[in-house]
Structures are given as C-alpha cells and as structure tokens.
C-alpha cells in the first residue's frame, strides 16, 4: 500500500467535506432567510439572493471535486471502482446537488421548482450524512493497518 498518496486522498476529502458542510449550512440560512422574507412580502437586502447563488455554486464545485478525487484516487490505488456503498452514495450526492442547482436556476420560469429545490436539499443533507459515514468507514478500514 502506498501510504502517502492514500493519506493525501482522504485528507483532501475530509477538508473538502468540511467546507462542503459549511457551505450547506450557509445555504440553509441564506435560503431560509429568502424564503421567510418572501413569505412576509418583504424583499430583504439586495445581496442575499446572489450570495446564496454564489455559495451554492461553491457547494457544487466542492462536491464534484470530491467525486473526482474519490474516483481518480480509487482507480489509481485499486485499478477499479465499487469497493463499498460509498461509490453509490457519492454518485447520488453529485446527482442531487446538480438537480438542486438546475432547479434553482429555473425557479423564475417555473415557480413550482422552488419546492423541488427545497425537497432535494433535504435529501441532500441525508446524502451528505451517508457519504460521510461510509467515507469514514472506508478510511478506518485502512488507517489502523498503516499507522
């Protein structure tokens, strides 16, 4: 086992995941504020909507970074994919975050997409918990043998 490259893989994964969770909660707060303000018939500060959009773009980037690191690292190390449920959950999270972003960008045209966006984001939280859980299990499978 090539220890340095393997630690490198999961260290970036853990940091990116930390930032991804941070952006998720920033999105929950800014999105929730937008929702509340709209329900009160208010508009709120001008920066709120673009801020939510920019943080959202950041989350999409982080998730695809994690997906690429996971796939490249696993193929580089094992020569194949699919060593645990982590693969399926990783792909699911990447799909959910894409649907969330695409639905959000079309809310102006089709207002019912607002509810798709919100529902998908609840599923996304469950997906994040699942992918962190299985990622952590995978990490522990290797760490004790090598440290």
Residues near ligand HEM (CB under 6 A) are 9-10, 13-14, 17, 24, 27-28, 31-32, 34-35, 38, 49, 52-53, 56-57, 59-60, 63, 66-67, 70-71, 73-74, 81-84, 86-87, 90, 93-94, 97, 100-101, 104-105, 107-108, 114, 117-118, 121, 131-132, 135-136, 138-139
Q: How far is the CB of 140 from ligand HEM (least distance, A)?
A: 9
**Closest CB 15 distance from ligand HEM, rounded Å:** 9
Range 25-31, long-range pairs (CB < 8 A, 24+ positions): 26/55, 27/52, 27/55, 27/56, 27/59, 27/121, 28/121, 30/55, 31/118, 31/121
Tokens for 107?
A: 């809310």
C-beta atoms surrounding 116 within 10 Å = 17
Where are the extended beta strands (E) located within the chain? none
**In the complex, least distance from residue 3 CB atom to ligand HEM, rounded to whole angstroms:** 12
């Amino acid at each position: 086992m090539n220890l340095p490259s393997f630690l490198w893989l999961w260290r970036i994964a853990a940091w990116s995941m930390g930032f991804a969770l941070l952006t998720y909660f920033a999105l929950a707060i800014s999105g929730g504020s937008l929702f509340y303000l709209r329900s009160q018939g208010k508009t709120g500060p001008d920066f709120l909507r673009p801020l939510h959009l920019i943080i959202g773009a950041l989350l999409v980037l982080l998730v695809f970074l994690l997906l690429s690191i996971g796939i490249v690292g696993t193929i580089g190390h094992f020569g194949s994919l699919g060593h645990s449920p982590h693969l399926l959950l990783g792909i699911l999270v990447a799909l959910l975050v894409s649907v969330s972003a695409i639905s959000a960008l079309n809310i102006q045209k089709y207002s019912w997409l607002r509810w798709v966006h919100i529902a998908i984001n609840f599923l996304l939280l469950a997906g994040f918990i699942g992918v962190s859980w299985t990622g952590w299990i995978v990490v522990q499978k290797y760490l004790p043998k090598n440290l």
